[in-house]
Amino acid sequence: MKTDERIVQAMAELLRVQGYAATGVKQLTEAAGAPTGSIYHHFKGGKREIATAALRSTGAAYIQLLPLLLDPYDDLAEGVEAAFAQAAEDLENTGWANMCPVGTVTGEIADAEPALREVAAEVFASWVEEGTRYLTGRGLSPDDARAATYALLSALEGAFILARGQRSREPLLAAGHATAAYVATLRKPAPLTP
Amino acid sequence: MKTDERIVQAMAELLRVQGYAATGVKQLTEAAGAPTGSIYHHFKGGKREIATAALRSTGAAYIQLLPLLLDPYDDLAEGVEAAFAQAAEDLENTGWANMCPVGTVTGEIADAEPALREVAAEVFASWVEEGTRYLTGRGLSPDDARAATYALLSALEGAFILARGQRSREPLLAAGHATAAYVATLRKPAPLTP
DNA sequence: CCTCCTCTAGAACGGTCGTTCTAGAGTAAC
DNA sequence: GTTACTCTAGAACGACCGTTCTAGAGGAGG
């Protein structure tokens, strides 16, 4: 793997675990196995530029999980609940460290780092677009699909925070169950027209 | 207001807007109108101790909003949707700055600051306890009430992040609608026993 | 008046931050 | 061998961090 890719990946990992402000360049040099000189050679913009690259890269990678997780389930609601359960297991297996770097960073730097906030907004927007497309393909109306994507992402990001804080799967399981119940109401046939 | 209370309140405000790592003691002295000496006189534990006090104080204050927001609505689902809409309006009116300090800090420092993480976990636990009690009082079974509280908190915290990142009410409105739809399914009469 | 104590005030300190700078290793072309 | 260029390597730098320290202001009790 090329050095610049190693740097971006290491940054993504660090952002996911400890956020932007707490991640130092020195720590990044160790995690990426590249000294300061290399880092600033590849990324003249320094820490901020690397973080934006990491957020974009994460954004592209995570959205691919959506069909991967939901396609196996004929019943969409069932798939949603299973996806949250999977996330809960992953979180616990990594010692409650794994989270979504985009969510972590957004909460932290929304005001102090406008450039990063904008990149996070872009990533969220791409997720919503992709999620809407996918759920429309699963039979939801475009409006319902978009709202459901927002609801699903919100529940997931929020449950990550609670689960991580409490070191418990319960928030993720409860949020998954709730989101599944909500999605199930959307798939019911429209009420008969009078 | 006493100096120590001013300090805690200023810290809560700063945590809400920019998180723990990005909040400096110097900034706190300006926001609280108290010099360094006063701060360390009142809080020997320094920044960390003030942050824990701020989280606890916030935790106690926010949970009081629950009955305040939901009591006026006979229909629980309707109340939930209205509460999210209210949150969306507040967020926009403060220039997308207002968030929940507990959520912000938890995402940021879950690993780097174990003491703070533990306080956040306590606050979440108290919210879950109080929310479960309230929703049980509104007619839900204890299990449903607890799950619904987790789902509601998760959706709210997550939607805050998305809304703040995108500077849009849409995530909060979608999450509110979804949570309301889920709550509505819980209030339906139990299926007839065979 | 003096004494005692709480709290204010901010300068000073060591450490760490993100970044820059200088030096050299490696490699390909000629 | 020489040149040119990319990338590695880490020391050095100023700025700022959280914390500690010294000094004094302001009252309360005698």
Q: What is the pLDDT of residues A132-160, one digit of tens each?
A: 999 999 999 999 999 999 999 999 999 99
Q: Express each pLDDT in B115-165 by its tens digit.
A: 999 999 999 999 999 999 999 999 999 999 999 999 999 999 999 999 999
Is residue A110's pLDDT more than 90?
no
B194 pLDDT band, cuts 50/70/90, is: low
| Class in CATH terms, B3-57 | mainly alpha
In the DSSP assignment, the letter for residue B74 is: S
Structure tokens at B131: 């929310």
Radius of gyration from C-alpha coordinates of chain B: 18
Cβ-Cβ contacts under 8 Å between A and B: the total is 193
pLDDT at B128: 98
pLDDT at A27: 96
Residues of chain B with CATH 1.10.357.10: 59-187
Which residues, including other chains, have CB under 8 Å from residue B134's CB and lie 6 or more apart? B66, B67, B70, B145
pLDDT at B1: 82
CB A55 within 8 A of CB A120: yes
Is residue A4's pLDDT more than 90?
yes
Residues of chain B with CATH 1.10.10.60: 3-57
pLDDT at B189: 57
Residue B3 contacts strand C, CB under 7 A:
yes
User: Which of these, B177, B153, B165, lies nearest to B62 by C-alpha position?
Assistant: B153
Give the position of tokens 């824990």. B52
B175 half-sphere exposure, CB direction, 13 A CA radius: 35
Distance B15 CA to C20 C1' (A): 32
Q: Please determine, looking at this structure, whether the domain spanning A3-55 carries the CATH number 2.60.40.420.
A: no
Residue B32 contacts strand C, CB under 7 A:
no
Q: Does A27 touch chain B (CB under 8 A)?
A: no
Q: Which chain A residues have a beta carbon less than 8 Å from that of B184?
A: 185
What topology does CATH give the domain A58-187?
A: Tetracycline Repressor; domain 2 (1.10.357)
pLDDT at B110: 81
pLDDT at A98: 83
Q: Which of A96, A99, A161, A167 best probes binding to B when mutated, by most B CB atoms within 10 angstroms?
A: A161
Is residue B193's pLDDT more than 70?
no
pLDDT at A99: 87
The shortest C-alpha distance from B194 to chain A (Å) reads: 23
Helix (H) or strand (E) run with residue B48 in it: helix B46-63
Architecture of domain B59-187: Orthogonal Bundle (1.10)
Is residue B191's pLDDT more than 70?
no
pLDDT at B111: 83
Structure tokens at B105: 């800090």
Helix (H) or strand (E) run with residue B58 in it: helix B46-63
Of B19, B154, B184, the CB nearest to A155: B154
Which residues, including other chains, have CB under 8 Å from residue B150's CB and lie 6 or more apart? A159, A162, A170, A171, A174, A175, B128
Is residue B188's pLDDT more than 70?
no
Q: Express each pLDDT in A160-194 by its tens digit.
A: 999 999 999 999 999 999 999 999 999 765 555 55
Q: Does B158 touch chain A (CB under 8 A)?
A: yes
Radius of gyration from C-alpha coordinates of chain A: 18
Of B104, B120, B147, the CB nearest to A107: B104
Distance A8 CA to C28 C1' (A): 28
Cα–Cα distances in angstroms (integers) from residue B10 to residues A103, A104, A164, B25, in the given order: 25, 23, 26, 11
Cα–Cα distances in angstroms (integers) from residue B74 to residues B12, B77, B138, B147, B190, in the given order: 33, 9, 9, 21, 20
Report the SS3 class of residue B33.
coil
Question: What gap in Å lies between CA A19 and CA A55, rounded to an integer?
Answer: 11
Q: Express each pLDDT in A78-99 by its tens digit.
A: 999 999 999 999 999 999 988 8
Q: Express each pLDDT in B53-83 by its tens digit.
A: 999 999 999 999 999 999 999 999 999 999 9
pLDDT at A193: 58
User: Helix B25-32 vs helix B46-63: angle between axes, to the nearest 10 degrees?
Assistant: 50
CB contact under 8 A, B161 and A22: no
Say what percent of chain B tops pLDDT 90: 90
Q: Does A99 touch chain B (CB under 8 A)?
A: yes
pLDDT at B172: 98
Distance B35 CA to D20 C1' (A): 14
Of A52-56, B27-31, B95-99, the poorest mean pLDDT is in B95-99
Q: Strand D: which residues have Cβ below 7 Å from it? A: A 3, 34-38, 40-42; B 23-27, 36-37, 40, 44, 46-48
Q: Does A111 touch chain B (CB under 8 A)?
A: yes
Is residue A112's pLDDT more than 90?
no
pLDDT at B187: 76
Phi, psi values for residue B135, rounded to 5°: -70, -30
Question: What gap in Å lies between CA B19 and CA B17, rounded to an integer?
Answer: 6
Which residues, including other chains, have CB under 8 Å from residue A59's CB and lie 6 or more apart? A102, A122, A123, A126, A127
CB contact under 8 A, B181 and A179: no
Q: What is the mean pLDDT of residues A22-41?
A: 96
